[in-house]
Amino acid sequence: MSTPIVSPATRSGTRQGLGTYVGLAGALLAMVVLFASLSSHFLSYATFTTLANQIPDLMVLAVGMTLVLIIGGIDLSVGSVLALAAAVVSVATLGLGWGIVPAALLGMACAALAGTVTGTITVAWGIPSFIVSLGVLEMARGLAYQLTDSRTAYIGDAYAWLSTPWAAGVSPSFVIALAVIVLAHLLLTRTVFGRYLVAIGTNEEAVRLAGINPKPYKVMVFALMGALAGLAALFQISRLEAADPNAGAGMELQVIAAVVIGGTSLMGGRGSVISTFFGVLIISVLAAGLAQVGASEPTKRIITGAVIVVAVVLDTYRSYRAKRKG
């Protein structure tokens, strides 16, 4: 019987991935220990279940952003697209009298359409996704204001079951977000589609020369990012029992911070959904811990910003070392 041959590169990549997980888990644990020593109320089951039930929207947005960054793009419109999806759901539910499922699907479809627009313009004209998504950010926010008449639309408890604590105090939205992470991880690591995304981010020209058209894959990733923003909108509606046209303002920075802290490269070609999950936990624990120890809002912003800068510097250093070894 022949023994499968594992290349040194594969073993090295596996060790590097495990090392990243261990490093992120260590940083998270250190942060928990620090805040537990500063606040007697932090290290409790209630704190962690509350945290888990507040982050599903950030989790699914971070999954989509991971895929976008892996292909060498960026999407700054996710917060506004979330608000647009919520506004569409409110119009479908309150204005048209649609049921929960059709209204939710319409909201997610509109969000996916917004992502498709970003991706299509980016690849068709070769415009940086940074610029295109800024334009979509403004358009989506404006449409959200128009659809809601610039007012919060109170939907009621139709979607509240998503955020109602369930088994062990955890909400269905958190379970759904975990399922999205698992599926995205399998997509990225176990499918040809996932390998193409990494290849596109690493060297798009080489992919093109190999006879693979990268454009449809890039558009699909942006469309998926939009759909996940629509799902995040449902999670927010379930918590607020309303559609707020200001929802998600500035959330794109929080999402990008979590993804970069998780080790996904801003230059494309490298990233992990599991590492992104650790990044989300680190950002969320940091925010919750600073709130419990009574840090002022300016202090919280300074500390969070410093963490992001350190993560970007480390990402640049990793990229530099990888180029030197290559």
For 321, the token pair is: 């070392």
Between CA 158 and CA 136 the distance in angstroms is 29
Write down the pLDDT at residue 326: 58
Between CA 59 and CA 61 the distance in angstroms is 6
Between CA 155 and CA 93 the distance in angstroms is 7
Tell me which residue has tokens 């939009």.
226
Residue 297: half-sphere exposure toward Cβ, Cα within 13 Å: 0
Along the chain (326 residues), what's the average pLDDT of each consecutive run of 10 residues?
Answer: 37 58 91 92 91 96 98 97 98 95 98 98 96 98 97 94 91 97 97 97 95 97 98 97 94 92 90 96 94 89 86 77 68
Write down the pLDDT at residue 145: 98
H-assigned helices in 39-171 = 45-54, 56-70, 78-90, 100-125, 129-148
